[in-house]
Amino acid sequence: MSDLKISNLHKHYGGFHAVKGIDLDVPSGEFTVLVGPSGCGKSTLLRCIAGLEETSQGTIEIGGRDVTYARPRDRDIAMVFQNYALYPYLSVKENIAFGLRARKFAEAEIEKRVSRAAEMLAIGHLLQRFPRELSGGQRQRVAIGRAIVRDAILYLFDEPLSNLDAQLRDDMRVEIKRLHNELGRTMIYVTHDQIEAMTLADRIVLLRDGLIEQQGAPLDLFERPKTRFVAGFLGSPKMNFVDATATRTGVKLADGTTLDLPGQKGLKAGAAVVLGLRPQFITVAGKTVAKGHARVPAVIELLQPTGSRVQATLPLGGASIVAELAAHDVSKPGEKIHIDLDLTRAVVMDPQSGQVI
Amino acid sequence: MSGLPLHRRAGFRLSFRYLLAALLVIVFCFPVYWLFIISFKTPDEIFAFPPVWYPASLQFGNYWVLFKDGDAGTVWNSLVLASVSTFFAMILGTVAAYSLVRFKTGGENLAVWIISQRMMPPVAIVFPLFLLYVYFGWVDTYFGLIILYTAFSLPYVIWMMRGYIEDIPLELEESALIDGCSRWEVLWKVVLPMARSGLFATAVFTFIFAWNDFLFALVLTRTEVTTYTVQVTHYFGGQSNFWAKIAAMSVLGTIPVFITVAIMQRYLVRGISMGAVKG
Amino acid sequence: MTATVHPDRNFKYWLVAPAIFLLLLIGLFPLIYSLIVSFMRIDMMDTDTSFAWFYNYKTLFKDSRLWWSLAHTLLITAVALPIELLLGLAMAYLFLEKMPGRQVFISLLVLPTIISPIVAGATWRLLFDNRYGPINQILGWFAGEPVNALWTINPTLVYPAIIFCEVWQWTPFMFLILLAALSNVDKSQTEAAEIDGARFIRTFRYIVLPAIWPVMAIAILIRGLDLFRIFDIVWALTQGGPGTKTETISIYAYVQGFKQFETSYTAAIAFLVVFILTVVCVWAIRRMGLVK
Ligand SMILES: Nc1ncnc2c1ncn2[C@@H]1O[C@H](COP(=O)(O)OP(=O)(O)OP(=O)(O)O)[C@@H](O)[C@H]1O
Ligand SMILES: [Mg+2]
């Protein structure tokens, strides 16, 4: 059963077409992440689902019920906002209880639910405080608490962690993942942080200019992007793109290097293509060349250590590429090494349409 | 400049400021003092020459007369009119301001039209209003003056509350909508508490405007709802003013405002500066 | 039964409807009524509702009492407003820096503003009394001989009296607003200018004034409008007398309407007032840069 079903949704802001016909089906219990560059319409889509924006065209069903024209409060949803949206004049406890009171829950039930939510989020000791007396992370917990005390069908999150510092963000990410596992509710989460998207999502929906570019499991999108946009958007450091010419069995780079791409059929020999190689799928040459890998020589131009890994910038086929290598495998710029490219995971794209071939 | 050490000069400066401040306080407060003191004087002291600067003892006789004749009831009339009209103006004005801010109802034009009503000189409308009120039988009724004061305060309330409401984060309201509030409940449970200090500051000024009104009350009241401002002028008479009554009535009519202002002081300063900044 | 329109569409109109209704009733209706009546010839003797067209407006131009009342109003405005502004500014500077007891001083200084104008007028009537009032008494100390100035009767003294009272009541208002505005001026900028050796006047002209101008302009506008329709203080002090010496435009309109019952003519005056105010406001708002 699906908890959310969107058909052909459009949204116009005056003359501006922000959402251009989206179809989406979210099964019960799934954690769906909406990602995309700034301004692509993620928030707009989420706000349409919440009923905070009027839709221009299309339908929205939540829990099997058509709610296209329903008020936000009649949609059976809960939402966590980017800036916490806590009421400064209410205590933490009353903030969490706000939705229950608005829905006329019995006092005993409110008491029970608030303390359970507080316990889950480890904010039991803060209940009597006011929002101004809390840290950013604590505020965000309260905001999440306010959503989870309710039995909503759908839980919406609009960039809930973007106001937190990096460390706290990692912690809260784990927390949200745990909550999802414990509660088993359907959640829709907007972010433009692709690490959040990759780690949290059961399914990623990648938006671009008001349309869905691709959706699927995180690894699916990561390894089998359908377009150059998807390939470039997901993954950090970004995928390397190298201009090349197609041959019968692979590609030929600008400097004449030919690479055989296993499993690539349908390449039109002589056509201009773009080869996409993830930095993670490049390694320093070992004893043997693994099947489907190609070994090429390279001179390190630049090194950016990130801890156990190091990002090395190298020339390849007339372009500069980035490889993510083990830190102890390389020492300094100028070093001459050999690298192995995992061509089984390389993608080839049409330079004009951006479609993966 | 001078050979004085720096701290001595700072000391002179401060003393000078205190001197000026004291002088100003005397000049600005003396008339209030005089009014106050006359109200406690006996007729002999009032009409003494040279004037008596402070009475030998505080006489409450002047006030006693006002209460005995029922004149003091006009303060009650003012109180009813000012508070009830403030109450309604605050509700209608806040709600309208909310609509103007959140939904841009009527666009800039409506907002400008409303503020332009604030510039309307009372004397330009008081005469036709008088005829209208005669026609409806609203002259000398609470109802008539209350709707008049309410309407007259509305532009100010709307203008002020617009500024305060603009400062409320939209997310708070949206969150409440999702959590189960109707639009009205959002107003009641989110917007009003968030705009609390603005509401108080605006309410005090609205109250004072209505309280101070003289022209409308002069024209539209007779005997039933005479306000204290009109009552004060009843004691004016060519050469022989009823000095004691003027003073006592004025003090009676000033006390409620003093109390209000004293209680609300911390909201007022913000209200004045905010209102001025936001225009 | 699924709905097919978005709910709460009319909510925003419900919110403004009562306010607009009241404003139309109290604000717009009388104005339109005035406009129509001003073209008729209704007065106390005669409820002739035939149209006289511009008759009343033509009379306006020949009515010297009207133009004098306008002149009186402008005189009071032109003298009182600059005094209030400058005095208020000076006072704001005096209390700008912290000093012990500052809040008490400010609270005391604001007293005149919260008093009803009619009471302010009445108070000064008591103060100005030629025999039993303290003003003449105090002046006598300085003069060294008894002073018997007839403040509210002597034609050369009534204007100082009115302006005194007006300034006394409203300077604190200016003071409060300007104090708030001055406190918001970025300290680091003025200090930087002082370190550069800029004189006070220059600092004020090029740094402080631009910063406080938006607030100051509104304060001037508000006070200017209030002064233009001044009624209460003058009424309490002189009722427009002696004779019609201190009749302001508001008092004149009131007298025409409620003492002479010149319905149509009063309506025409009302329109003249609205017209002048509108022109002045629009000009001032443009001129002061209050709108982009
Ligand atoms: N109220 C509005 N009026 C007009 N245009 C709007 C409005 N809200 C959003 N837009 C436009 O719609 C587009 C999508 O906005 P949206 O907020 O959905 O982007 P987003 O994907 O959430 O971006 P971000 O990651 O920066 O939050 C943007 O181009 C934005 O300028
Ligand atoms: Mg967004």
Per-residue pLDDT of C221-242, as tens digits, reads 888 888 998 999 999 998 887 8
In the prediction, which pLDDT does B238 show? Answer: 57
Task: Report how far residue A17's alpha carbon sits from residue A44's, in angstroms, rounded to the nearest whole number.
Answer: 11
pLDDT at C292 over 50: no
Q: Across the interface, do A54 and C7 touch by the CB < 8 Å criterion?
A: no
Quick check: CB of A13 below 6 Å from ligand 1? yes
Asked whether the beta carbons of A302 and A241 are under 8 A apart, the reply is no
Question: What is the reported pLDDT for A201?
Answer: 94
Q: How confident is the model at residue C48 (pLDDT cuts 50, 70, 90)?
A: low
Q: What is the largest CA-CA distance in chain B?
A: 79
Residues B204 and B271: beta-carbon distance below 8 Å: yes
d(CA C91, CA C114): 18
Alpha-carbon gap, residue C23 to B114, rounded angstroms: 8
- pLDDT for B43 equals 79
Rounded mean pLDDT of chain C?
85
Q: By CA distance, what is C4's nearest residue in A?
A: A69
Q: Is C143 exposed, middle or buried (0-12, 13-18, 19+ CB in 10 A)?
A: exposed
Within-domain flag for B1: no
* B57 shares its domain with B69: no
Q: Do residue B36 and residue B99 come from a single domain?
A: no
B100 with B178, same domain?
A: yes
Does residue B5 have a cis peptide bond before it, meaning omega lies within 30 degrees of 0? Answer: no
Tokens found for residue B13? 């400066």
Report whether residue A40 contacts ligand 1, using a CB cutoff of 6 Å: yes
CA distances from B102 to A101, B94, C16, C20 (A): 25, 12, 12, 17
Strand order across the A282-284 sheet:
A282-284, A336-342, A293-299
Pick left, alpha or beta for residue C74 (phi over 0 → left; psi -120 to 50 → alpha; otherwise beta).
alpha
Residues in chain A with CB shorter than 8 Å from the CB of B190 are 87
Q: Looking at mean pLDDT, say which of B141-155, B263-277, C131-145, C149-163 comes out highest.
A: B141-155
Q: Which two tokens stand for residue B245?
A: 């009554």
Of ligand 1's listed atoms, the one at least distance from the Cα of A41 is: 18
CB A167 within 8 Å of CB A137? no
Number of structural domains in chain B: 2
The answer to whether residue B247 is domain-embedded is: yes
Of B22, B44, B63, the one marking the end of a domain is: B63
Q: Are residues B171 and B40 both part of a single domain? A: no
CA-wise closest residue to C269 among C65, C6, C16: C65
Residues having C-beta closer than 5 Å to ion ligand 2: A 43
Q: Where does chain A have alpha helices with state H?
A: 42-50, 92-102, 107-120, 136-148, 166-183, 194-200, 218-223, 228-233
Separation of CA C95 from chain center: 25
Distance CA C254, CA C168 (A): 25
Residue B170: inside a domain, yes or no?
yes
Which pLDDT score, from 0 to 100, does residue B6 have? 67
Residues 6+ apart with CB under 8 A from B84: B142, B146
Q: Same domain, yes or no, for B107 and B58?
A: no
Q: In what order do the strands lie in the sheet with A2-13?
A: A16-27, A2-13, A57-62, A65-66
Which amino acid, one-letter code, is at A20? K
Substitution site in A9, A10, A12, A43 for ligand 1 pocket (most atoms within 8 Å of beta carbon): A43
Does residue B85 share a domain with residue B18?
no
Which residue numbers in chain A have pLDDT < 70?
1
Domains belonging to chain A, first-starting first, are: 2-227 (3.40.50.300), 240-349 (2.40.50.140)
Q: Going along C29-90, which residue ranges are E strands? A: none
Q: Is the CB of A41 under 6 A from ligand 1?
A: yes
B58 and B144: one domain? no
A67 has a chain B CB within 8 A of its CB = no
Q: What is the pLDDT of residue C73?
A: 94
- Tell me the two tokens of residue C198: 């800029």
Question: Which string of DSSP letters, residue by residue, matches C239-251?
Answer: TT-STTTT--HHH
Residues B172 and B218 in one domain: yes
B-chain residues near A87 (CB < 8 A): 172, 190, 193-194
Reported ipTM: 0.86
Both B162 and B38 in a single domain? Answer: no
Nearest CB among B175, B193, B194 relative to A79 is that of B175
* Domain extent for B118: 65-278
Tell me if A22 CB under 6 Å of ligand 1. no
Residues B15, B111 within the same domain: no
Q: Any long-range contacts for C203-208 (C-beta under 8 Å, 24+ apart)?
A: C208/C182
Q: Tokens standing for C2?
A: 């699924």
Please report, in tens digits, the pLDDT of each residue of chain B (279 residues total): 445 666 777 788 888 899 999 999 999 999 999 999 888 888 778 787 777 788 778 888 888 988 888 888 999 999 999 999 999 999 999 999 999 999 988 888 888 888 888 777 888 888 888 888 999 999 999 999 999 999 999 998 998 898 889 889 999 999 999 999 999 999 999 999 999 888 988 898 899 989 999 999 999 998 889 999 999 998 887 556 688 888 999 999 999 998 888 888 777 766 655 554 443
What are the tens digits of pLDDT across the range C86-108? 999 999 999 988 888 888 898 88
Contact A42 CB / ligand 1 (< 6 Å): yes
φ, ψ (nearest 5 deg) of residue A177: -60, -45
CA dist A157 and A154 (Å) reads 10
Could you give the CA distance from residue C94 to residue B23 in angstroms, rounded to a whole number? 12
Chains touching chain B through at least 3 C-beta pairs below 8 angstroms are A, C
- Percentage of residues in chain B having pLDDT higher than 70: 92
Structure tokens of A318? Answer: 């007339």
When pLDDT is cut at 50, 70 and 90, the band that residue C2 belongs to is low
Res. C147: pLDDT tops 50 = yes
One domain, residues B45 and B157: no
Other C-beta atoms closer than 10 Å to the C-beta of C50 total: 9
Q: What span, in angstroms and rounded, lies between the C-alpha atoms of A54 and A70? A: 10
How many angstroms does the Cα of residue A208 sit away from the middle of ligand 1?
12
Do B264 and B158 belong together in one domain? yes
pLDDT at B47: 80
Which residue's CA is minimally distant from atom 11 of ligand 1? A18
- CATH number for the domain spanning B259: value is 1.10.3720.10
Asked if A102 lies within 8 A of B178 by C-beta distance, the reply is no
**Burial (CB count within 10 angstroms: exposed 0-12, middle 13-18, buried 19+), residue B262:** exposed
Domains of chain C (ranges; CATH) run: 63-287 (1.10.3720.10)
Please tell me the distance from the alpha carbon of residue A179 to that of residue A172, in angstroms, as a whole number: 10
Ligand 1 site-directed mutation target among A35, A40, A53, A55, most atoms within 8 Å of CB:
A40
Closest CA to A55 of A4, A5, A11: A11
Q: Taking residues C125-137, what's their average pLDDT?
A: 86
